[in-house]
Structures are given as C-alpha cells and as structure tokens.
C-alpha cells in the first residue's frame, strides 16, 4: 500500500514545479544534442532519452523537431531577463545605472545556456530564417527595462535627442562586441568594452 500512493501521483497531472523541471530538462537535453550533432543529426527519440521522458510526453509538447528548436531559441532569450529587471534606476546617476546595465548584458551573454542556444540559432539561421526576427523581438523584450529607463531620461530632458530603443540596441552591441565578443569573451575584454561603451554614451546625458 505504501508504494501505491507515489505511483498514483506519478500517473496524475504533474505539479507546476514538476512541469517546469521537465521543461528545463527538455531544453537542456535538446540544446546539448543539437550542439553536438547539429540539427539534422538529432532525433526526437534521442531528446526524449536524454531528458528521461517518454516520446509521447515530448511530442505532446513539441509536435516536431523544428518546433522544439524554435522553443530552445525562445528559451535562450528569456534566460537573462531577470538580470535586466534587477537593475536599480531611481535616484541614481545615469552613468552608474548604465554601468549596471552593461554588467547585466555581459552576464546575460556569458550565461552558458543562453550563449549555447544563441550560437545554435546563428548556426541554423539559413534553415530557420524566421528565427532571426523572433530572436530580435524577444531580445528587445528582455532589454525593455533599459529602454524604459532611457525613455524616462528623454522625457525629463536628461538625454540628447535620440531614439531610446535604438540607443539601447547600440549600447548592447558596444558592450557585447559583436562578432569579436563571440570569439573573445574574457573578463578582461568584457571590462574594456563596458568602460568604452559607458564613455561613449556619457556625453549624451545632461545634468539634472
């Protein structure tokens, strides 16, 4: 009788925590396989085995491999969201806030999961051209706190007349270093890029 209850729970509807853990297991298993074998070399059966779930469970969430791959890219964009949301902006000097956003950008791009998924998306961009637009939109949604803060400065007359959304993207590109950042991502180089990016943006801010 003692074994009957756990079995009954396993056959029932999973809890929210169990569902989240299962989803993360799928994402990590699929990403590792795609990285090792490429999109064409991975099967849904392999993903299910690596994630320790049944194929039925996997197909219930993702009906085919392209859908799973798109979900991985979406997951990668959401991974760093909390870092941007945690940056304090009220009552602080713009340069200090900008430096904290720069650190958040570096930490987000240094996240192993996010970095791995992003590289996968870039590698498979020809196969999934719509991913580029998806990643751009989701990346901008993640960076929304930076954009909102810049918009607030603009309304208060403390930011020179530029599009805040465009400035946020340009700042992110300066901090990450573009292709150079993908190839050379040491802490020393990241520190240099943060310093250079904040120095270039400093003249845009007006005194209160």
Three-class secondary structure of residue 129 per DSSP:
coil
Model pTM? 0.66
Q: Which residue, 30, 62, 25, is CA-closest to 43?
A: 30
Q: Which residue, 166, 167, 163, 191, is CA-closest to 177?
A: 191
- Among 7-11, 43-47, 169-173, 188-192, top mean pLDDT goes to 43-47
pLDDT in tens, 73-91: 777 666 667 788 889 999 9
Please report, for residues 79, 92, 169, 180, 207, the alpha-carbon distance to residue 157 in angstroms, rounded to integers and kept in the order given.
33, 16, 21, 34, 9
Q: Token digits for 76?
A: 């990668």
Top-confidence residue, 190 or 114? 190
Long-range CB contacts (within 8 A, 24+) of 195-199: 197/98, 197/102, 197/171, 198/95, 198/98, 198/99, 198/102
Q: Is the pLDDT of residue 92 over 80?
A: yes
List the beta bridge partners of residue 205. Answer: 159
Top-confidence residue, 110 or 201? 201
Residue bearing tokens 């498979």: 124
Residue bearing tokens 């310093």: 195
Q: Token digits for 108?
A: 């987000």
- Work out the mean pLDDT of the chain and round it to a whole number: 81
pLDDT in tens, 31-58: 888 878 888 899 999 999 999 999 999 9
- pLDDT more than 90, % of the chain: 31
CB of 80 closer than 8 Å to CB of 142: yes
CB of 40 closer than 8 Å to CB of 61: no
Q: Is the pLDDT of residue 111 over 70?
A: no
- The DSSP string of 158-185 is -B-SS-HHHHHHHHHHHHH-HHHHHH--
CB of 29 closer than 8 Å to CB of 50: yes
Torsion of CA 159, 165, 169, 170, to 10 degrees: -40
């Amino acid at each position: 009788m003692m074994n009957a209850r756990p079995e009954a729970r396993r056959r029932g509807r999973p809890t929210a925590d169990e569902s989240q853990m299962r989803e993360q297991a799928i994402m990590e298993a699929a990403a590792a396989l795609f990285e090792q074998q490429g999109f064409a070399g991975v099967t849904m059966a392999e993903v299910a085995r690596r994630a320790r779930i049944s194929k039925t469970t996997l197909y219930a969430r993702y009906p085919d491999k392209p859908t799973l791959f798109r979900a991985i890219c979406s997951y990668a964009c959401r991974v760093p969201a909390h870092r941007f949301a945690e940056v304090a902006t009220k009552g602080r000097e713009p340069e200090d806030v900008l430096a904290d956003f720069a650190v958040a950008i570096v930490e987000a791009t240094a996240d192993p999961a996010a970095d791995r998924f992003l590289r996968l998306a870039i590698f498979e961009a020809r196969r999934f051209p719509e991913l580029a637009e998806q990643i751009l939109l989701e990346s901008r949604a993640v960076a929304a706190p930076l954009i909102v803060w810049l918009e607030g400065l603009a309304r208060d007359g403390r930011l020179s007349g530029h599009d805040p959304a465009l400035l946020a993207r340009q700042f992110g590109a300066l901090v990450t270093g573009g292709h150079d950042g993908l190839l050379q991502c040491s802490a020393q180089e990241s520190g240099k890029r943060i310093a250079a990016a904040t120095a270039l943006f400093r003249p845009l801010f007006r005194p209160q």
